[in-house]
Amino acid sequence: MTRDEIMTQILSFFRKEFEIENPGLDDNLREKHGFDSIDAIELLLKIEKMLGSELSHEEKKRAMDIRTINQICDYIESLAEARPASSG
């Protein structure tokens, strides 16, 4: 999964699930868009679906400091690199 593919999926998810159109890639999602802990749980579920595997407790804890779309993409890239490539 390339960074562009990740970015496309995340931006689409934000549009559909949170009705956030075109967030700035470095916007603080909590301050600027009202992104809360419930939204974060939904996002983690989406990330698990994207990766095709469940996140560990430690991986979920790492997500607690994420504030921007760019940080979300960095996070997903690092998780994807740590997992074996999926065939689907």
The CATH number given to whatever domain includes residue 58 is 1.10.1200.10
- CB crowding 61-88: b at 16 or more within 10 Å, else e: eebeebebbeebbebbeebbeeeeeeee
Token digits of residue 22: 């075109």
Percent residues over pLDDT 90 in the chain = 85
Q: Is residue 37 part of a domain?
A: yes
Number of domains in the chain: 1
Q: Is residue 51 part of a domain?
A: yes
pLDDT tens per residue, range 14-28: 999 999 988 999 999
pLDDT tens per residue, range 42-62: 999 999 999 999 999 999 999
pLDDT tens per residue, range 63-73: 999 999 999 99
Q: Is residue 88 part of a domain?
A: no
pTM over 0.85: yes
Q: Is residue 50 part of a domain?
A: yes
